Amino acid sequence: MAIEAGLGDLPLFPFSSASASWSNDPVSFLQSLCHTVVVQGVSAILAFPQSRGEMLELDFISAALRIPVVSIVLGEFPRRSLSSKFHLGSIINITANFTSTSDLLNYLQFYLESIKDTSTMVMFGCDMEKTRRIFEITTQFVMPAELHWIIGDSQNVEELRTEGLPLGLIAHGKTTQSVFEHYVQDAMELVARAVAAATMIQPELALIPSTMNCMDTDERNITSGQYLSKFLANTTFDGLSGHIKVKGSSIVSSENNFFIWNLQHDPVGNPMWTRLGSWQEGKIIMDYGIWPEQAQRHKSHMQHPTRLHLRVVTLIEHPFVFTRDVDDEGLCPAGQLCLDPLTNDSGVLDNLFETLQGGNDTVPIELKKCCYGYCIDLLEKLAEDMNFDFDLYIVGDGKYGAWKNGHWTGLVGDLLAGTAHMAVTSFSINTARSQVIDFTSPFFSTSLGILVRTKDTAAPIGAFMWPLHWTMWLGIFVALHITAVFLTLYEWKSPFGMTPKGRNRNKVFSFSSALNVCYAILFGRTAAIKPPKCWTGRFLMNLWAIFCLFCLSTYTANLAAVMVGEKIYEELSGIHDPKLHHPSQGFRFGTVRESSAEDYVRQSFPEMHEYMRRYNVPATTDGVAYLKHDPEKLDAFIMDKALLDYEVSIDADCKLLTVGKPFAIEGYGIGLPPNSLLTSNISDLISQYKSHGFMDVLHDKWYKVVPCGKRSFAVTETLQMGIKHFSGLFVMLCIGFGLSILTTIGEHIVYRLVLPRIKKKSKMKYWLHTSQRLHRALNSSFIEEKHQPKKKRVEKRAHVGNSQHAVWNTANLGNCHRKKYICTNEGQNEVTIYQHQDVPLPQGRTETPPSLTTNGKAESLHTARTSVLQELTELEKQIEIIKQELQLAMDRKSELEEYARTNRTAEP
């Protein structure tokens, strides 16, 4: 049959004794069974016979195949007395049916009066309800103080209660009930241990079946099954169902260890079941304990009973154990005095504590420390309730404990060596440690976690764009250009717009003007702009201003938070994260050496443990320091989450963070030597502390600290933004300088190459709605005299209601061709150049050298003044002529504009 019991599936034989008619043809049956077993290389057979006949059949099969058969049979051993020293006295049979409680009371009263001199009362066959009823009745009688009550039937220790039971009651039973699967696993472990032992001596005989033909028997050579049977008969171990051993080379027995319990008062005065001893291999092994009357006798004879004195070892782990230096006198104003001897030698510790307790204290002050913390408070509470004193010291090697070089190190090693009686710290309970030492019930539950460090990265070049999403930036600039288009359309379609058709304005609102307005409003630029004149355009411009106000407010509000830089960290989902199982080059993570975290990783993920061994640290504080070091020595640190959470809460820089899902749930317990007398009592007290809220008080005291996220001093530093935060703006400005040079080159290319080609096409010269400068460049004439030097004079003159600027240039007086250029301001500074060649200009004065007199002197000054006055008169005449021509030109212009306006109105 196939049974899944945690060790894999066993091969299933395709027959059973109930269905096969093997008794009719046993030879054929054995041949078939032999081939099946031999082919599969079976070393032993696990069977579950249901009757004596099936056991005989299995015995026949084992003898024929020469393979051991391990059978699991459920049976109870008959109850019999193994001691001849004690004999039962009076027997009270209360199994008779009583019609009322009064009848039972009278019945018990009659017999209890006759056995008052009895020292021990043993009850059999009563469940706990009937037992409590009997004790309720017996309380009405005055029974002797020396009377001991014993429950003879085995009890389930986990279901034992204390209500209604007398002090001093003795009971026995198992802590856990064995189930069928436990026996199956123990049977398979028995075979596995025997095969392993046989393989160490003759592996070829233990692993390779020597029987090839069951019908061909050779008594001269030993078979594999016979060889294995010798080791099966000598295999003994403690299994799940009890102590496994083989009796008489054929009977495998599983003996449970029965524990003996006594109902006594705990240190706080409450009734509590206390373990007195155990029944192992037919012997009673007493732990400790005295009868209640003996306790009274001790109290009466001893005025000052001796207190239990224990030596306690601890390990520094915040917040469970802290240390600080002692004062100048070597004392601890607060906390417990502890020694840091830096050794595990029991002899050295004995001498140090003897010296410390003696009158002449010569212990070096550097070895003295003051210990305090979560576990120290718990230890003080236990010492008070259990009435014991203790000496406290710090473990010499600073390790929790692991199997290394053939012995246990750290706390476990001190407990096994007898150096310490108790280990109190953040001591994780795991399977390996529980097999060699005792643990109390856990006083703190936790799991393993991963600690990383956040990094404040410098703001990148484009960080100033981060307050708004890229879609928002795109939407803003798309909306800007759409608004500019609509502003231009509304202005040109309105009768009041700033256009050539709108109320004869001198300026024109083009698309470039609309862009200038929109960009100025968006960025708050104070440069001069041409706002739209029509009502619709102004309304749309104000709507655009409201839109920009909300966008810039949102941008400004988020700018400070974004510009300080993003906090990045190693994102790990948990222990199964690919970064841990397949670490990239340079990714470093570790844990504390010889801790439960390292033991978990070593057993669960051997390859990961092999990689992280080089990065493991001696203590938790070292791992945290490696994370916070600049540059980092670790990228992630794996340790108990209870310790990591505390380190995160006290981190002044707020750079530590636990990530990923918790894993490997575990608990902290108090370590004790194996089979310690204090294990059960301390466990019971810890359970009481939990139910009464004492453990919650300790947790709030040592874990309720101010989170680093609420500390104001850290916020002030992060908001101080330097030039590195705005480096992108400086880069953008430099890029703008470069682009401006390219824009200048582009202007020259357009002016010298593109515009001349557009001028040749008469249909593409109207660009006033797009750009006035482009329109003026396409519709103006330019005359450039390169060979004649010119002098420009600018005069301001007024004519009717128009303000005009006239610039006229005169050539050299010696040049016979004189030309004059007049620039008039029409529209928006639109320049039209007129060439006046028919206007006679005054002849300039010929520059001749002055004549000399006979005495060599120059002519008089009167002659020079006369020539200057003549030239001024001629210039005034010329100015009057030009004024008349300008007046005629302006009148003609007005007529042409009125004519053009009339024709445009008359068009359908």
3 state SS of 808: strand
Q: Would you say 433 is a known binding-site residue?
A: yes
For residue 686, give both structure tokens: 């810890």
d(CA 523, CA 270) in angstroms, rounded, equals 79
For residue 660, give both structure tokens: 């990923």
Q: Is 139 exposed, middle or buried (0-12, 13-18, 19+ CB in 10 A)?
A: exposed
- CA gyration radius for the chain? 54
Q: Would you say 241 is a known binding-site residue?
A: no
Positive or negative torsion for Cα 230, 234, 240, 241: positive
- Candidates 107, 109, 85; CA nearest to 96 is 107
For residue 324, give both structure tokens: 């600080």
d(CA 181, CA 734) in angstroms, rounded, equals 79
Q: Would you say 649 is a known binding-site residue?
A: no
Phi, psi of 64 (to 5 degrees): -75, -45
d(CA 495, CA 505) in angstroms, rounded, equals 11
Give the amino acid at 557: A
For residue 455, give both structure tokens: 């990094």
d(CA 487, CA 510) in angstroms, rounded, equals 9
Exposed e or buried b per residue across 484-513, where buried means at least 16 C-beta atoms within 10 angstroms of its C-beta: beebbbbbbebeebbbbebeebeebbbbbb
Instruction: Give the bridge partners for 444, in sequence order.
Output: 668
Q: Would you say 66 is a known binding-site residue?
A: no
Per the listing, tokens 């209890």 go with 112
For residue 821, give both structure tokens: 């250029």
d(CA 78, CA 297) in angstroms, rounded, equals 40
Say which residues have a Cβ less than 8 Å from residue 36's Cβ, sequence separation at least 6.
Answer: 13, 14
- Candidates 649, 690, 691; CA nearest to 668 is 690
Distances (CA, A) of 39 to 35, 66, 210, 852: 6, 15, 12, 149
For residue 165, give both structure tokens: 């039971």
3 state SS of 663: strand
Exposed e or buried b per residue across 147-174, where buried means at least 16 C-beta atoms within 10 angstroms of its C-beta: bbbebebebebeebeeeebeebbbbbbb
Instruction: Please tell me whether the peptide bond between 319 and the residue prior to it is cis, using omega within 30 degrees of 0.
Output: yes
- Candidates 636, 626, 624; CA nearest to 587 is 636
Distances (CA, A) of 491 to 502, 515, 533, 826: 9, 13, 7, 20
- Candidates 13, 54, 21, 58; CA nearest to 37 is 13
Asked if 628 and 620 count as a contact pair (C-beta separation under 8 A), the reply is no
For residue 123, give both structure tokens: 């009850």
Q: At what angle do helices 128-138 and 101-114 cross, to 10 degrees?
A: 70
Asked if 258 and 173 count as a contact pair (C-beta separation under 8 A), the reply is yes
CA 703 to chain centre: 18
d(CA 425, CA 411) in angstroms, rounded, equals 10
Distances (CA, A) of 106 to 89, 111, 125, 129: 21, 9, 21, 20
Q: Is 334 exposed, middle or buried (0-12, 13-18, 19+ CB in 10 A)?
A: exposed
Binding site residues, as ranges?
428, 433, 596, 640
Q: Which residues are annotated as a binding site for L-glutamate?
A: 428, 433, 596, 640
